Amino acid sequence: MPAVITHDEFGRQVYDSLYMMIGESRDEFQAFLLGNQGPDVLFFAALHPLMMRVSQLGSRMHREQPIEALAAFREAVDAIPTVPDAVARCGAASGGATSDRIASSGTATSDASSTPSAPGAPDASTHDIARAYVQGLLCHYLLDSTLHPFIYAQQWALCDAGVEGLDRNSAHEVHAAIESELDELVLSMKRGQTIGDFDPSRKTLVANDHVLNVISALYERVAHQVFEEMLPPGAYRVSAKAYRLALRALWSPTGVKRALLGRIEEVARRYSYARAMSHRNHRIERSIFDNHDHEPWFDEDAAAQRTESFWDLYDRALAEAFIDVPEFAATSDTNAFLCRVTGGRNYNGQIAEPIIVHVE
Ligand SMILES: [Zn+2]
Ligand SMILES: [Zn+2]
């Protein structure tokens, strides 16, 4: 799935430096990494017959003004008492946590859908889980808004290149194919792995139901308060599970399933979205989409030519996250902080649309 690996790896890099501030328990770690997947998780509500509307909230959160929503998430965390729940702190990561250490501790990566019973009992308070999630959400915003102008530029250049049968009608599939290849690049370069040994449905989006329920409650509150939408209870939890199923369905280390999915879908569409989203099993050090040579590309929204590579932008977002994540947690003036950090840009890196509230 495009970007799931890139966002996960980005989150792990931030966690490895800031784990003491984000929280060293398994639940905080899982919540933080889920935050790094952002509102993208809600897109997968579309796979559930009763939750289709929820996926539109994911799109709105990407497109519309992000300041109010991010501020509402921070406020929602502040509204949860800091006193610990009746939680047995089992010290999942005492003695210095790192993403690899927690991931290999056995509890964090045990059955992703496990219920919170021992040894998977909650090991952090509701407040701390919510705080870690919202810190991760800011990371998602930083990476999305920094990289998207570059990805859109690649996407439009490819759609407009005059390739027969390829035009802007296929932008969605081209976008997915670019992000998918960048995921393969990140997996190769940062972890030395391919999807032959990395199943995204098991290695990403890992969280127990307790963590998912805390995040669901955050979304219900923010959707109501900022977007005036009533989410069905547990909408985020259902979406996260649907996302895992989609990742599982698209995981194709041999390529046979990818080809089959592509052929089925191409009966109805010109290009297969499923095939574009499914990662290929190869180790790569370069990609035609990484702009290694710093060729000029056009940022449509800024109406400017730029030359950064994928890694330049990834590292810039990372440097910002190291500064902004601690500040987001500590600031007493959330609005001023978010105005500075976002500059009014949405998750797509564009000057955001105002939040549109539909009065029934
Ligand atoms: Zn996103
Ligand atoms: Zn994208």
pLDDT given for residue 314 in this prediction = 97
What ligand is nearest to the CA atom of residue 35? 1
Burial class of 114 by CB neighbour count within 10 A (0 to 12, 13 to 18, 19+)? middle
Measured CA to CA, the distance from residue 103 to residue 9 in angstroms comes to 13
Q: Which residues surround ligand 1, an ion (CB under 5 A)?
A: 38, 40, 144
Nearest CA among 359, 358, 345, 357 for reference residue 63: 345
What ligand is nearest to the CA atom of residue 182? 2
Task: Give distance in angstroms: CA of 118 to centre of ligand 1.
Answer: 33
pLDDT given for residue 78 in this prediction = 94
For the record, the structure tokens of 150 come out as: 């570059």
Contact between 186 and 287 (Cβ < 8 Å): no
Measured CA to CA, the distance from residue 116 to residue 80 in angstroms comes to 20
pLDDT given for residue 204 in this prediction = 93
State the residue for tokens 């902004």: 324
What ligand is nearest to the CA atom of residue 43? 1
Task: Give distance in angstroms: CA of 170 to centre of ligand 1.
Answer: 19
Task: Give distance in angstroms: CA of 175 to centre of ligand 2.
Answer: 6
Contact between 146 and 317 (Cβ < 8 Å): yes
Task: Give distance in angstroms: CA of 123 to centre of ligand 2.
Answer: 33
What ligand is nearest to the CA atom of residue 3? 2
Measured CA to CA, the distance from residue 350 to residue 353 in angstroms comes to 9
For the record, the structure tokens of 161 come out as: 């290149």
Task: Give distance in angstroms: CA of 347 to centre of ligand 1.
Answer: 6
Beta bridge partner(s), residue 305? 298
Task: Give distance in angstroms: CA of 62 to centre of ligand 1.
Answer: 6
Condensed to tens digits (0 to 9), the pLDDT of residues 304-313 reads 999 999 999 9
Domain boundaries, the chain: 4-342
Contact between 247 and 204 (Cβ < 8 Å): yes
For the record, the structure tokens of 315 come out as: 């590292």
What ligand is nearest to the CA atom of residue 144? 1
Measured CA to CA, the distance from residue 273 to residue 258 in angstroms comes to 11
Condensed to tens digits (0 to 9), the pLDDT of residues 29-60 reads 999 999 999 999 999 888 777 777 899 999 99
What ligand is nearest to the CA atom of residue 137? 1
Nearby residues of 73 by Cβ (< 8 Å), 6 or more positions away: 134, 137, 218, 222
Task: Give distance in angstroms: CA of 133 to centre of ligand 2.
Answer: 20
What is the enclosing helix (H) or strand (E) of 128?
Answer: helix 126-159
pLDDT given for residue 282 in this prediction = 78
* Cis upstream peptide for 119 (omega within 30°): yes
What ligand is nearest to the CA atom of residue 59? 1
pLDDT given for residue 3 in this prediction = 86
For the record, the structure tokens of 326 come out as: 């601690």
Give the gyration radius of the chain's Cα atoms.
Answer: 20
> Residue-wise pLDDT tens for the chain (360 aa)?
448 999 999 999 999 999 999 999 999 999 999 999 999 999 988 877 777 789 999 999 999 999 999 999 999 999 998 877 655 444 444 455 677 666 655 444 433 344 444 566 788 999 999 999 999 999 999 999 999 999 999 999 888 888 877 888 888 888 988 998 999 999 999 999 988 899 999 999 999 999 999 999 999 999 999 999 999 999 999 999 999 998 887 776 777 666 665 566 565 556 666 666 677 777 888 888 999 999 999 998 889 999 999 999 999 999 999 999 999 999 999 999 999 999 999 999 998 877 776 655
What ligand is nearest to the CA atom of residue 178? 2
